[in-house]
Amino acid sequence: MDIQTLTFIIVGATFALYIAIAVWARAGSTNDFYVASGGVHPVMNGMATAADWMSAASFISMAGIISFAGYDGSVYLMGWTGGYVLLALCLAPYLRKFGKFTVPDFIGDRYYSQLARTIAVICAILISFTYIAGQMRGVGVVFSRFLEVEIATGVFIGAVIVFFYTVLGGMKGITYTQVAQYCVLAFAYLVPAIFISIYMTGHFLPQTGFGATIAEGVAGEGNYLLARLDGLSEELGLAAYTEGLRSKVDVFAITCALMVGTAGLPHVIVRFFTVPKVRDARRSAGWALVFISVVYLTAPSIAAFAKVNLINTINGPELTGVEYEQAPEWVKNWEKTGLITWEDKNGDGEMFYSGDERNEMTVDRDIMVLANPEIADLPAWVVALVAAGGVAAALSTSAGLLLVISTSVSHDLLKRTFAPNITDRQELMWARVAAGLAVALSTWFGINPPGFVAQVVAFAFGLAAASFFPAIILGIFYKRMNSAGAIAGMLVGIIFTLSYIIYFKFVNPAANTPDNWWFGISPEGIGTLGMVFNFIVAYVVHKATGDAPKATQDLVESIRYPKGAGGATGH
């Protein structure tokens, strides 16, 4: 059976499973729609949280970045993993105790201000739209190859599916769908990694194969895998794989932005309101780390295997090039999508990949995980399984983000601000309308993204770091912080960070070089500086305008020293 047929079968079966779960767990009330009535088991919630957080950036793009950037790509691995530790220790149980299931709800009540709530809603929507652009792009990459359609068509297909089970099931449906999606994406990530590790190094575990010698019969046999990769990279005019080229300042800024951005992401925070007790929120974060590590500890090995196989396949074992007519089928399949291109510069009819003027190949880094099984010539069912995993990763996070957007509009803007007298039924209707509009706009972003998947997602983390993280941290641990300080800090943080990203990515992309960056910090890491500005402005304005009211300070004390479960309600 060919790859396309198997892909239709496996991806179709997973879609049927997701939709069946959404129908089974259909939301019947706003409490179901927003927080699954707070009745999800911590282990299940941890698995759903892992799926929610491990987006297309984690599944599709992270190993691709590491594969191309080598050591420098590890900032994504460190930042996204470290952020969950920060979330578990500093935020999850306290926010759960507060009992508000959206970040704008927390900020509006903690800072006793409708203006603060409205600014938080705007920030949540900006962050979510930036994030979802990467997810829709990931969906398009998967479908463009395996369903042999244009990327735009693939984005449309994914948008219709995610809209269906998001608006039908709400958080209750999404939670149990994400449990299934985690199982699919983790299995799909590990199976090809184990296959390739055994073939290339003789090691069953990819993590040990990553540091082992290349097996007999494989090009470069007897050499350590990373030493072989360093040698290949330098011979082809690329930087040594294990050598870092980013400045230490930029590495720190990106890692920090990803860490604190994780702790401020609205679609992640809301997951901790779906469990019954405060203690369960912390346990959920712990379980999520366990489930996340299954994929994240495998990513570096997949990146290294894929890069070695890519070079060997395109350039041949002797690095002299391969005749295009004799090129493997996977090259021509991906060529149809436009994500691999070949220009015969010297007219010899041979492909050649390098990092200098000899290069004739353009390979989109977002295809590395998806193409990896084909490059390694694994069975067709493994290729189809990886396609299903990529779709699961992109759709699971897209669903969570769409829910954030819909609840921000229906609950925080309408119910809590402009139309407090609407009924639960009307609130639920507006939530679904908002989700529909969000799908339409995010589809456009998916077709016209501002960068590759993980880069776009990094921008979202930077925006979250610069806007939400200081407001939440100060709201929990600095009881005297007032509304004026929080509002000023959020505005400065989000405006500065967004302006910096827009300038270098859209207004003047030619200037997007280390020489032109502030303090040598790239757009991916500028959220760290935005966060610092947020903290400074918030503190200065607070000192100039006085402490928060006594009642608010007492409320903060009750959050910091939890004594009960605290119901997740919107009132």
Q: Residue 9 has what pLDDT? A: 86
Average pLDDT over residues 441-470: 78
Convert the pLDDT of each residue in 260-317 to its tens digit.
887 666 667 766 766 777 677 778 778 888 888 888 899 999 999 999 988 988 888 7
Ordered by start, the domain boundaries in the chain are 3-306+381-444, 313-375
Q: Is residue 458's pLDDT more than 60?
A: yes
Mean pLDDT of 415-429: 77
| Token pair of 490 as six digits | 């959020």
Q: Can you tell me the distance from the alpha carbon of 403 to that of 407, in angstroms, rounded to the nearest whole number?
A: 6
Q: What is the pLDDT of residue 166?
A: 61
Other Cβ atoms within 10 Å of 532 Cβ, number: 17
Query: What's the pLDDT tens digit per position in 558-571?
Result: 877 655 444 444 44
The angle, 0 to 180 degrees and rounded to 10, between the axes of the packed helices 62-69 and 74-86 is 140
Pick 118 or 170 by higher pLDDT. 118
- Contact call for residues 155 and 134 (beta carbons, < 8 A): no
State the pLDDT at residue 398.
Answer: 72
CB 226 within 8 A of CB 242: yes
Residue 143: is its pLDDT beyond 80?
no
- Residue 376 phi, psi (nearest 5): -85, 0
The answer on pLDDT for 140 being more than 90 is no
5 Cβ neighbours under 8 A, 6+ residues apart: none
- pLDDT tens digit sequence for 42-100: 788 888 888 777 777 778 788 888 998 888 888 888 887 787 777 767 776 777 777 66
Q: Whole-number mean pLDDT of the chain?
A: 82
Provide the CATH number for the domain formed by 3-306+381-444 in this structure.
1.20.1730.10
